[in-house]
Amino acid sequence: MRLFTAAASAALLTVIVAGCSSSPSPTEHQHAGLDVVASTDVWGSVAGAVVGAHGTVKSLVTGTVADPHSFEASPADAAEVADAALVVYNGGHYDHWIEEVLSTNPDVPTVDGFSLLPTGEPANEHVFYDLATVKAVATAVAEKLGGIDAEHAADYTANAERFGAELDTLATAQRAIGAAHPGAAVVSTEPVAFYALRNSGITDRTPQSFADAVEEGDDPAPADVAAMLDLINSGQVSAIVVNTQTETPATQRISDAARQAGLPAIEVTETLPAGMDYLAWQRATTDEISARLDGAPAHSR
């Protein structure tokens, strides 16, 4: 995980809310009513599906250019959080910069996605790829908003239920991938799509120490890089999963080896591609996993 800079942290912790705000972004849901703030556009889209016409959702990190791990919130961002009727964020120290702001504003209502991960689940921070957890977040958002705005509580609940039904359909599509590709395995440059792969019944053979090093922003050990290369060159995996928002010399070397071995690349992101909401994004990811496995070399299927 990338570290939040001391200077940025100090700026956030000393912010005194004085009515400052940032300009609306193209991804902002424009409605009168409650002001909801989300750490990223992924959680903003989830919250927006529940808020519907009864509020505005502002996402602090948007687009696929920035890496959410290394984002530095501005004092204006901190003020948005402090003034919000509800803050929806990932948790698990993924969006640690928003956790810093919330630590000095303990009265702001929140929904923390990581905290809703079922007990006993692997503690991978990218819970926005776990459809069951995302469904739980939508339900929690509806409950929180209903408590704040009782007049529209039934609408929030209905919106969350409709959104949850779409997630259930997606979960069925993911399970079908595993049924169509029994025994399929991949390696990943970063464990971003951990839950999508698991839900699909796809084994990720990436050495844990390689994944941990990448997550911490460290260089993987030479032995871990060698193990990844061996998995690729010996035909033990069907595809490589690539996080297009981060790249290091080590992950580039792995990607190059996979390309030379003829392995298809499943590209994933941590925020929403242009023009997509959460459901469209996850449908596209599910379709890509399926299509890339369909096109895997015969010896690796």
> pLDDT tens, 88-139?
999 999 999 999 999 999 999 999 999 999 888 788 999 999 999 999 999 9
* Position 6 confidence tier, pLDDT thresholds 50, 70, 90: very low
Q: Taking all residues of the chain, what is their mean pLDDT, rounded to a whole number?
A: 88
Distance, CA of 42 to CA of 48 (rounded, Å):
10
- The continuous run of DSSP H or E covering 64 comes out as none
Distance, CA of 34 to CA of 141 (rounded, Å):
12
* Position 301 confidence tier, pLDDT thresholds 50, 70, 90: low
CATH topology classification for 6-172: Rossmann fold (3.40.50)
Q: How far apart are the first and last CA of the chain?
A: 32
Q: Which two tokens stand for residue 267?
A: 């590209």
**How confident is the model over 184-200, as a mean pLDDT?**
96
Phi/psi of residue 190, each to 5°?
-160, 140
Q: Kindly provide the b/e burial profile for residues 148-171, where b requires at least 16 CB atoms within 10 angstroms of the residue's own CB.
A: bbeebeebbbebbeebbebbeebb
Residue 269: predicted pLDDT: 95
Residue 246: predicted pLDDT: 84
Q: Which two tokens stand for residue 66?
A: 């920035």
> pLDDT tens, 260-278?
999 999 999 999 999 999 9
Q: Which CATH number is 181-300's, of 3.90.1170.50, 1.20.200.10, 3.90.420.10, 3.40.50.1980?
A: 3.40.50.1980
* Residues 8 and 73: beta-carbon distance below 8 Å: yes
Distance, CA of 166 to CA of 279 (rounded, Å):
8
**pTM attached to this predicted model:** 0.87
Distance, CA of 259 to CA of 233 (rounded, Å):
10
* Position 29 confidence tier, pLDDT thresholds 50, 70, 90: very low
Each domain of the chain, given as residue ranges in start order, spans: 6-172, 181-300
User: Among the listed ranges 25-29, 75-79, 130-134, which one has the minimum average pLDDT value?
Assistant: 25-29
| More reliable by pLDDT, 26 or 56 | 56
Residue 26: predicted pLDDT: 37
C-alpha distances (whole Å) from 135 to each of 10, 55, 272 are 35, 20, 18
* Position 300 confidence tier, pLDDT thresholds 50, 70, 90: low
Domains 6-172 and 181-300 share a fold: yes
Predicted confidence (pLDDT) at residue 7 exceeds the cutoff of 50: no
Residues 6+ apart with CB under 8 A from 102: 81, 87, 89, 108, 110
Q: Which two tokens stand for residue 40?
A: 């990223």
* Position 8 confidence tier, pLDDT thresholds 50, 70, 90: very low
**If you write DSSP's letter for every residue of 166-198 in order, what string do you get?**
HHHHHHHHHHHHHHHSTT-EEEESSGGGHHHHH
Distance, CA of 29 to CA of 7 (rounded, Å):
31
* Position 1 confidence tier, pLDDT thresholds 50, 70, 90: very low
User: Among the listed ranges 1-10, 15-24, 257-266, which one has the minimum average pLDDT value?
Assistant: 15-24
Q: Kindly provide the b/e burial profile for residues 114-123, where b requires at least 16 CB atoms within 10 angstroms of the residue's own CB.
A: bebbeeeeee
